[in-house]
């Protein structure tokens, strides 16, 4: 049986342009680089000191603000029979996002809203923000793929060392999955590339090939396959879904579940032994400031893989593995 999950190595392509991204989109090395470009653009226009951010987020979204000397103030995001976001609008900037392609039911009014559309790019088109940004690397095998619109940021050339490492890692993973090599050295290369990205400061351009690829992504295939896969997982784990409903326009990035009794990490390790790699969103970093209620999501969430690389058989394999764990434990 093949590996399920982990880093992408391919991109589903169409002969027709997808028109997902506006003509004003600018392309960057990463979502973090795109966000840095937005922050610097705002600072050129006005004096800003604080940003309100969701307590449930990746530290890669926090760091660009801290590097630009902006104080981060977290607003509560927690689970209480549904996901609750108590958006605080008392800061100079309000940062908002949807999660995993599932549409949130809230509106936001503030003179300076930055919306992270990484998770919602294939689900919902928003018009409530001043600035929009995201990353395609979370959806398919592009090397770079950061984007933003309604800005024109000053950039420097793409970091070729990072691009070369990503390219090599994807090639090695493809060779491993096809049986041409036995070594899983691609894991180390992917990790080295991420470390390189973590240490880069500034606003970097995207790889030119990725920009072209983005225009011809097979969005219909991505949406259909992910939705079909998600339905199988959602039906199997209806009692522990973080997002129990799949709306008509939703395109799920993952199917996140809450694992009971503090067994999330045990389940994750069990799945890894079965060749199933399901990420946690997100590790708690030194920058987070969480109360007990907010931390429950971090401690119990597991993101089940449902992406376009896989089909019904793969989803049933995930279901069987999780059920076996539950029976054994």
Looking at the structure, tell me whether residues 232 and 195 fall in a common domain: no
Last residue of a domain, one of 199, 229, 258: 199
Question: Within this chain, do residues 80 and 115 fall inside the same structural domain, yes or no?
Answer: yes
Please check whether residue 306 lies inside any domain of the structure.
Answer: yes
What residue ranges in 30-166 does DSSP mark as E strands? 50-54, 71-75, 77-79, 83-85, 93-97, 113-116, 131-135, 146-149
Residue 1, pLDDT > 70, answer no
Res. 318: pLDDT tops 90: yes
Q: Compute the average pLDDT of residues 50-60.
A: 97
The sign one gets for the Cα dihedral 87, 93, 99, 103 is: positive
Domain boundary among 89, 118, 149: 149
3-state secondary structure of 132: strand
42 and 139 inside one domain: yes
In this predicted model, what pLDDT tens digit does every residue of 94-105 receive, in sequence order?
999 999 999 888
Which two structure tokens, joined as six digits, stand for 302?
A: 């597991």
Q: Which of 61, 233, 67, 235 is nearest to 138 (CA)?
A: 61
Same domain membership, residue 178 and residue 235: no
Q: Which range of residues forms the domain containing residue 301?
A: 218-328
pLDDT at 133 over 80: yes
CATH number, residue 137: 3.40.640.10
74/113 same-domain check:
yes
Distance set, CA 126 to CA 132, 150, 231 (Å): 9, 13, 25
In this structure, what token pair is assigned to residue 79? 């689970």
Kindly state whether residues 179 and 74 are assigned to the same domain. no
CA–CA distance, 306 with 229 (Å, rounded to integer): 5
Q: Specify whether 183 is located in the same domain as 90.
A: no
Residues 39 and 138 occupy one common structural domain: yes
Question: Does a structural domain hold residue 7?
Answer: no
Q: Looking at the 3D structure of the chain, how many domains does it have?
A: 3
Q: Examine the domain organization and report whether 136 and 170 are in the same domain.
A: no
**Residue 2: pLDDT band with limits 50, 70, 90:** confident
Let me know whether 50 and 128 are in one domain. yes
Q: State pLDDT tens for residues 62-120.
A: 999 999 999 999 999 999 999 999 999 999 999 999 999 998 888 889 999 999 999 99
**Pair (138, 165) in one structural domain:** no
Q: What is the mean pLDDT of the segment spanning 286-298?
A: 96
Q: What is the CATH number of the domain that holds 293?
A: 3.90.1150.10
Cα 227 from Cα 224, distance rounded (Å)? 5
Tokens 């979204």 map to which residue? 61
* 205-240 tens-digit pLDDT: 999 999 999 999 999 999 999 999 999 999 999 999
Looking at residue 105, its pLDDT comes to: 80
> Does the residue 320 lie in any domain?
yes
Specify if 5 maps to a domain: no
Q: Is residue 206 part of a domain?
A: no
- Mean pLDDT calculated for residue range 295-303: 97
Question: Is residue 317 situated within a structural domain?
Answer: yes
Assigned domain for 194 exists:
yes
Give the model's pLDDT for residue 98: 94
Residue 209 has a pLDDT of 97
Q: Across all residues in the chain, what is the average pLDDT?
A: 96
151-210 tens-digit pLDDT? 999 999 999 999 999 999 999 999 999 999 999 999 999 999 999 999 999 999 999 999
According to the model, what pLDDT value does residue 106 have? 82
- Residue 329 confidence class, pLDDT cut points 50, 70, 90: confident
In a domain, 30, yes or no: yes
> Are 177 and 136 part of one and the same domain?
no
């Amino acid at each position: 049986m093949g590996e399920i999950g982990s880093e992408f190595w391919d991109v589903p392509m169409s002969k027709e342009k997808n028109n997902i991204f506006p003509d004003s989109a600018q392309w960057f090395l990463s979502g973090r680089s795109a966000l840095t470009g937005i922050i610097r653009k705002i600072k050129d226009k006005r004096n800003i000191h604080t940003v309100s951010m969701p307590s449930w987020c990746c530290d890669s979204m926090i760091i660009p603000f801290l590097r630009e000397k902006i104080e981060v103030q977290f607003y509560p995001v927690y689970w209480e029979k549904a996901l609750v976001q108590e958006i605080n609008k008392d800061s100079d900037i309000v940062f908002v996002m949807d999660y995993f392609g599932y549409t949130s039911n809230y509106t936001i009014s503030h003179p300076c809203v930055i919306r992270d559309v990484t998770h919602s790019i294939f689900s919902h088109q928003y018009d409530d923000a001043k600035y929009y940004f995201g990353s395609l690397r979370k959806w398919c095998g592009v090397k770079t793929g950061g984007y933003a619109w309604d800005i024109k940021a000053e950039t420097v050339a793409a970091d070729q060392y990072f691009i070369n490492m990503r390219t090599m890692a994807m090639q090695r993973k493809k060779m491993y999955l096809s049986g041409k090599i036995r070594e899983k050295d691609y894991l180390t290369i992917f990790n080295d590339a991420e470390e390189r990205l973590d240490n880069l400061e500034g606003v970097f351009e995207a790889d030119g090939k990725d920009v072209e690829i983005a225009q011809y992504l097979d969005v219909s295939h991505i949406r259909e396959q992910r939705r079909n896969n998600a339905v199988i997982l959602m039906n199997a784990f209806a009692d522990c879904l973080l997002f129990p409903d799949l709306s008509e326009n939703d395109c799920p990035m993952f199917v996140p579940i809450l694992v009971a009794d503090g067994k999330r990490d045990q389940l994750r390790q069990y799945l890894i032994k079965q060749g199933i790699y399901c990420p946690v969103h997100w590790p708690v970093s030194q920058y987070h400031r969480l109360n007990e209620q907010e931390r429950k999501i971090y401690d119990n969430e597991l993101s089940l893989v449902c992406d376009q690389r896989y089909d019904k058989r793969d989803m049933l394999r995930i279901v069987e593995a999780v059920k076996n764990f539950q029976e054994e434990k």
